[in-house]
Amino acid sequence: MAKALLRIMEKVPIFSNMGAENVRTILQLGERPTYQLWDTLCTVREQSNGMAILLSGQLGVFGAENRRISTVQPLAWWGRWG
């Protein structure tokens, strides 16, 4: 695992106090998918229990009528539970 990715993850607030070894373990358990422009990551009422951390680019959050209601920036985490 790249040390650069570990350093990036330690800057994410939710992981900042966990220590390098715990962050490394979490990174080994996770996936690192790549998405294209306008890919749908989740939809309303879809069952999910995951979280993601945006490393680069932007993530748009859209509501009714495809209106953008939020934008997630790099090093932010987001997720859906329920």
Domain that holds residue 18: 1-30
Q: Could you tell me if 24 and 39 lie in one domain?
A: no
Give the model's pLDDT for residue 82.
46
Q: Could you tell me if 56 and 80 lie in one domain?
A: yes
* Eight-state DSSP code of residue 25: H
Q: How many CA within 13 A on the CB side of residue 57?
A: 10
For residue 11, give Cα distances in angstroms to 26, 32, 35, 65, 75: 14, 17, 22, 35, 7
Q: Could you tell me if 45 and 20 lie in one domain?
A: no
Look at the chain and report how many structural domains it folds into.
2
C-alpha angle with apex 32: 3 to 72, nearest 5 degrees?
A: 95
pLDDT per residue rounded down to tens, the chain (82 residues): 578 888 888 788 888 888 889 988 888 888 888 899 889 888 877 887 777 888 888 989 888 788 999 898 887 766 654 4
Q: Could you tell me if 25 and 56 lie in one domain?
A: no
Q: Could you tell me if 79 and 43 lie in one domain?
A: yes
Q: Could you tell me if 18 and 43 lie in one domain?
A: no
Report yes or no on whether pTM surpasses 0.75.
no
